[in-house]
Amino acid sequence: MTFCSKVVGRLHETLKETADTGVNMRRKTLDLLLIWVGGLLTIMLLVAGGGLLFGSNFTSASVKTQLAQQKVYFDNTAALNAEGPAVSVYLDQYAGQQLLTGTQAQAYANHFIQVHLDAIDSGKTYAQASTACDLAPTVICNAQDQLLFEGSTTRGLLLNAYAFGTIATIAMYAAFAAFALALFMLVLTLLGLRHYRRGDPETTI
């Protein structure tokens, strides 16, 4: 008999006993029912926490692996400072490091790639520049379009990595919360079990 089946069976016995006695129910019967419910909730929270933790670890590892394969490194401090405060203020902390995390991906996308994209064709997006170039194509605007397309695509991919990295972090905290609640429910269940063993079998409520 499964755990859930036992809970259902106990609930059925409780309802039957309540019906047989009118409005009274033995206190130990109620305690036992609550113990089963507490045990079920504890198991459910542990399973949920385990699933969330697995998802968090899998997503984090996937993001790190995919970013590592790109072999992107932040410039050294001197090179970042030469880019100006729009870059150095945000990226100096990562100087010389390999880009491996979602947070680093966001910083590189928004404060390095975007800064250079803004310097191409007066800050136009790829869609804006491409439309204008289609109306009056030149060698220069075609080259700018190519740079904007490549830069925008790379930036978008890095921001996707940041999004998945953030999801992994949220899942990790949710897993910790589930484990904490499981521990709390376990304590309550054990206290209920102790009360059940010490209770008077004739006491009704």
* DSSP-derived secondary structure for 136-178: S--HHHHHHHHHHHHHHHHHHHHHHHHHHHHHHHHHHHHHHHH
Q: What is the pLDDT of residue 4?
A: 54
The closest of 189, 178, 190 to 45, measured between CA atoms, is 178
Q: What is the pLDDT of residue 83?
A: 93
Q: Give the chain's largest Cα–Cα span.
A: 95
CB 39 within 8 Å of CB 189 = yes
CA atoms within 13 A on the CB side of 191: 6
d(Cα 167, Cα 34) in Å, to the nearest integer? 35
How does 46-58 read in b/e, with b if 16+ C-beta sit within 10 Å? bebbeebbebbee
CA atoms within 13 A on the CB side of 19: 6
d(Cα 164, Cα 101) in Å, to the nearest integer? 10
Residue pLDDT, tens place only, 21-50: 444 556 667 667 878 888 899 999 999 999
**Which tokens hold the place of 128?**
């804006």
**Which tokens hold the place of 33?**
């029912």
Q: Kindly write down the DSSP assignment for every residue of 94-131, as one continuous string.
A: GTT-B--SHHHHHHHIIIIIHHHHHTSGGG--HHHHHH
**CA quadruple 150, 152, 156, 162: dihedral sign:** positive
d(Cα 35, Cα 192) in Å, to the nearest integer? 6
Q: Which residues of the chain have pLDDT under 50?
A: 1, 19, 21-23
- pTM score, whole prediction: 0.76
d(Cα 53, Cα 67) in Å, to the nearest integer? 21
**Which tokens hold the place of 165?**
């990295």
CB 45 within 8 Å of CB 181 = yes
CB 74 within 8 Å of CB 97 = yes
